[in-house]
């Protein structure tokens, strides 16, 4: 199986982006991650930091925009003026993404702003209170987060893994120079050969700490089903009291239509930059939209019955030893 996955990996990326990936302490990442690993481990955490943590494509951007606006008293003007990657930066971006790999390995990377090319240093320099995003699993978070030396808040969001896989496939095609099929991507996802895998280790690492008072656990499906309740729950966790009117206003701001049309969060500029500057090579064109459909259950029309069974069996294996509640 590993040889098949390795063959897919060799063939699935743009030929101009010859990324090698490694297993770093149980995490699947580009071989550039060790360049920033120590700076992530020793990142200086502050008591008033607010962190959104997740496996990729589980509702991270949605959660970030919700959290930032709750904490900043629904300051939509500032939210529109400052792109989300600037006001809520991605800590380890430089070492764990294809664009980050280019910023280290390719002279083209010198053109990137510091939020991409020097993501850890950029986050360290931000004034308080900081809003920080990470996809790192719990055991590889900055040490001061794991040891709870600081009183900062952590919000973790997760999602049905089949929907996560569908969304991650489209993300890979757009922003990670992926050039192969959805079927092959499912094989990579199930085989822990996509960035930040394994999925279930990631989720369990945070959910096993659900009793920690500084961690709030959210589900994408709950946000879809009853966003006002999740807004209130998050506001309470952050020590904010929102009136019913403000909850309704924020719910509208976070609607799929508004998020999709919001240039501050939809990363249209990133796609444009990849294509116009040919960051992933002359023959690669980023396709799609960062905020695509915003639906639950997309896997039902995307996956074959055989793939669905593989996902269900894989989930059962990974959760069999966990308590039912």
Q: Which of 37, 68, 159, 113 is nearest to 277 (CA)?
A: 113
What does the block give as tokens for 228?
């006002």
Maximum Cα–Cα distance across the chain: 56
Whether the Cβ atoms of residue 155 and residue 63 lie closer than 8 Å to each other: yes
* Half-sphere exposure in the Cβ direction for 242 (13 Å, CA): 27
Residue with tokens 């998050």: 234
Are the C-beta atoms of residues 67 and 167 closer than 8 Å to each other? no
User: What does 156-209 look like in DSSP terms, one character per residue?
Assistant: EEE--HHHHHHHHHHHHHHHS-B-S-HHHHHHHHHTT-STT--HHHHHHHHHTT
135 is catalytic: yes
Nearest in space to 28 (alpha carbons), one of 163, 140, 130: 140
Q: In the chain, count of helices (H) and strands (E)?
A: 20, 6
Catalytic hit among 135, 170, 171, 202: 135
Question: What amino acid positions are annotated as catalytic residues?
Answer: 135
């Amino acid at each position: 199986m590993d040889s098949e996955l390795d063959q897919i990996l060799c063939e699935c990326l743009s030929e101009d982006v010859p990324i090698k990936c490694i297993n770093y302490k149980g995490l699947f990442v580009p071989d550039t991650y060790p360049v920033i690993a120590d700076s992530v481990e020793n990142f200086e955490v502050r008591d008033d930091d607010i962190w959104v943590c997740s496996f990729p494509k589980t509702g991270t951007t949605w959660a970030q925009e919700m959290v930032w606006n709750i904490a900043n008293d629904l300051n939509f003007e500032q939210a529109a003026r400052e792109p989300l990657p600037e006001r809520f930066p991605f800590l380890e971006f430089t070492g764990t993404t294809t664009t980050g790999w280019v910023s280290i390995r390719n002279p083209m990377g010198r053109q990137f702003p510091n939020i991409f090319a020097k993501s850890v240093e950029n986050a360290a320099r931000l004034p308080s209170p900081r809003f920080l995003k990470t996809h790192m699993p719990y055991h590889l978070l900055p040490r001061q987060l794991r040891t709870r030396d600081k009183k900062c808040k952590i919000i973790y969001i997760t999602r049905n893994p089949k929907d996560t896989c569908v969304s991650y496939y489209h993300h890979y095609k757009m922003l990670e120079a992926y050039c192969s099929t959805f079927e092959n991507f499912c094989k990579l996802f199930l085989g822990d050969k996509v960035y930040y895998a394994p999925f279930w280790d990631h989720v369990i690492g945070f959910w096993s700490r659900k009793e920690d008072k500084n961690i709030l656990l959210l589900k994408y499906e709950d946000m879809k089903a009853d966003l006002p309740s999740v807004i209130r729950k998050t506001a309470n966790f952050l020590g904010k009291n929102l009136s019913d009117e403000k909850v309704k206003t924020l719910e509208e701001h976070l609607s799929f239509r508004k998020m999709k049309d919001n240039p501050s969060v939809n990363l249209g500029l990133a796609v444009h930059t990849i294509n116009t500057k040919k960051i992933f090579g002359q023959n690669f064109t980023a396709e799609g939209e960062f905020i695509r459909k915003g639906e639950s259950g997309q896997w039902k029309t995307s996956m074959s019955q055989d793939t669905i069974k593989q996902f269900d069996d894989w989930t059962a294996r990974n959760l069999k030893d966990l308590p039912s509640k």
